[in-house]
């Protein structure tokens, strides 16, 4: 009897540039390995792969099937929501977002081609959160084990976890708080050797603070920040994404906004565009920490709303990502469908308005398009349709504004609104503007015979 042949599962390569990225991808790697996929790790994103999973800044995949996640939750927070202009995802097959806040950022930019992976963008959670929520009892055991290993002196702890170590920030933290009856936990990120100067700063600070007091504890950089948050009552940072991850464990985060960030020359002040983070300055750090410790329960209650705005599918992220990857590889329907961009939702409403107009319900159709315009929709069609309607009513100035907006939004193929706008300029005998729009139109209408009527109108407008 012949045996049926089952093709081997695709090998998955996880690409990372430092151990922070590796920790972010590890839950997915574990899930894919548990399902029988061969799993490999690589620090060279130019390496070919069958299935490639990436989370580094602005990389290009070299895989038969590729998935991209965020490097961290604060990635390019200096340009939100214009993230995808500088870190394009269009070359990937699937993009993964951690929760509603990032979905909203994507919705605001989803009309940009760079923001559109081939199979779509998916709201599937933050895999690092699986460490906490997939087995909360086990997580607590591991956090308690770390507590015992450190030999913490006090019941309560303040965690220091910066994005960058520079200008003696760690020492400022220790000097400001060392007299308080709390443990000071010093946790630096596991930077790669490419940033040797940052590692040198960390080494210098850790040498000063190791054994400097019985309530100051230098934590191994390779330990997951999640376990450190599991010990913390408050955390202090400059602008690190850990301020967001702290929400997972209901830990209030404090950002010191006049600490310097050395990724520019000269260094800049910390940028903290998060409404769920308590802001302070260096001179007020101790006072702010004391305030939060005095009212910890109140601050912790405030984290619940923010937690669910930042994170989806707590404890389920790696499974959901693996489910979608496997379904896509097998050519099956995806268990979690891609997000529908707001511009696409608006276009569906516009198409409904078109159907109403075709059925003679012109007033209702017009109102739907007006509603889209009032909310500043990124869908170009209602601006075009209402603009041409106003042309028929002789309201050329208002029509011009609407059609100019339609042209700016159409991007990929602006031939229809450009044609209508050119006709308005011709009617207004504004030959210069008509010729300018006609030149733009030629990019979309390469066949000369299509442009001849408009050329004739332009010539007539000139005389």
371-415 pLDDT tens trace: 999 999 989 999 999 999 998 898 999 999 999 999 999 877 788
What's the pLDDT at 39?
Answer: 98
Residue 121 near residue 115 (C-beta atoms within 8 A): yes
What's the pLDDT at 446?
Answer: 59
Q: Is the pLDDT of residue 461 over 80?
A: no
Q: How far is CA 84 from CA 10, 103, 116, 215, 417, in A?
A: 29, 13, 9, 44, 26
Q: How many Å apart are CA 273 and CA 239, to the nearest integer? A: 9
Where do the domains of the chain lie? 12-126+315-329, 136-310, 340-379, 381-463
279 backbone dihedrals φ, ψ, rounded to 5°: -100, 140
Please name the CATH architecture into which domain 381-463 falls: Alpha Horseshoe (1.25)
What's the pLDDT at 31?
Answer: 98
- Out of 3.40.640.10, 3.40.50.10860, 3.90.1150.10, 3.40.50.12580, select the CATH number for domain 136-310: 3.40.50.12580
Q: How many Å apart are CA 389 and CA 309, to the nearest integer? A: 41
- In CATH terms, the fold of domain 12-126+315-329 is Rossmann fold (3.40.50)
State the average pLDDT over residues 3-30.
89
Q: Sorting pLDDT into bands at 50, 70 and 90, what band is 445? A: low
Going edge to edge, which strands form the sheet with 157-160?
Answer: 216-218, 183-186, 157-160, 234-237, 253-256, 278-280
CA 351 to chain centre: 30
Q: How many Å apart are CA 352 and CA 329, to the nearest integer? A: 34
Residue 70 near residue 100 (C-beta atoms within 8 A): no
CA 119 to chain centre: 17
What's the pLDDT at 448?
Answer: 43
- pLDDT higher at 301 or 16: 16
For residue 391, give both structure tokens.
């042309």
What's the pLDDT at 429?
Answer: 81
Q: How many Å apart are CA 20 and CA 29, to the nearest integer? A: 14
Least confident of 31-45, 282-296, 443-457: 443-457
**Residues whose CB falls within 8 Å of the CB of residue 316, separated by 6 or more in sequence, listed in order:** 125, 130, 133, 134
């Amino acid at each position: 009897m012949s045996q049926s042949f089952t093709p081997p599962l695709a090998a998955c390569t996880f690409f990372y540039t430092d151990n922070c990225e590796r920790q972010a991808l590890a839950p997915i790697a574990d899930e894919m390995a548990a399902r029988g996929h061969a799993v490999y790790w690589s620090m060279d994103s130019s390496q070919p792969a069958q299935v490639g999973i990436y989370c580094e800044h602005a990389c290009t995949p070299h895989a038969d099937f590729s998935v991209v996640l965020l490097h961290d939750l604060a990635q390019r927070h200096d340009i939100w929501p214009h993230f995808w202009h500088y870190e394009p995802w269009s070359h990937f097959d699937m993009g993964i977002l951690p929760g509603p806040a990032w979905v909203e950022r994507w919705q605001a930019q989803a009309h940009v081609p760079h923001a559109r992976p081939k199979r779509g963008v998916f709201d599937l959670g933050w895999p690092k959160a699986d460490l906490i929520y997939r087995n909360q009892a086990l997580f607590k055991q591991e956090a308690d084990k770390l507590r015992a290993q450190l030999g913490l002196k006090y019941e309560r702890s303040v965690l220091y976890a910066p994005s960058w170590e520079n200008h003696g920030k760690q020492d400022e933290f220790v000097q400001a708080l060392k007299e308080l009856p709390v443990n000071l936990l010093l946790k630096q990120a596991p930077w790669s050797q490419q940033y040797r100067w940052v590692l040198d700063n960390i080494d210098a600070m850790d040498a000063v603070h190791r054994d400097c007091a019985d309530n100051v504890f230098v934590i191994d950089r390779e330990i997951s920040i999640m376990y450190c948050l599991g010990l913390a009552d408050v955390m202090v940072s400059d602008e690190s994404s850990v301020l967001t991850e702290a929400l997972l464990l209901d830990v209030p985060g404090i950002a010191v906004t006049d600490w310097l960030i050395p990724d520019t020359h000269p260094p800049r002040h910390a940028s903290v565009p998060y409404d769920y983070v308590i802001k302070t300055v260096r001179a007020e750090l101790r006072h702010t920490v004391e305030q939060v410790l005095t009212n910890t329960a109140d601050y912790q209650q405030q984290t619940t709303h923010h937690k669910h705005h930042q994170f989806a599918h707590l404890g389920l992220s790696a499974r959901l990502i693996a489910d979608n990857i496997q379904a896509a590889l097998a050519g099956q329907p995806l268990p979690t469908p891609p997000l529908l961009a707001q511009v696409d939702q608006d276009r569906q409403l516009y198409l409904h308005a078109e159907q109403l107009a075709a059925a003679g319900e012109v007033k209702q159709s017009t109102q739907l398009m007006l509603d889209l315009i009032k909310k500043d929709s990124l869908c170009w069609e209602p601006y075009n349709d209402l603009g041409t309607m106003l042309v028929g009513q002789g309201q050329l100035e208002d029509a011009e504004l609407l059609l100019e907006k339609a042209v700016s939004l159409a991007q990929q193929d602006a031939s229809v609104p450009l044609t209508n706008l050119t006709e308005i300029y011709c009617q207004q005998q504004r030959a210069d503007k008509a010729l300018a729009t006609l030149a733009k139109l030629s990019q979309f209408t390469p066949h000369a015979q299509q442009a001849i009527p408009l050329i004739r109108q332009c010539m007539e407008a000139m005389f």
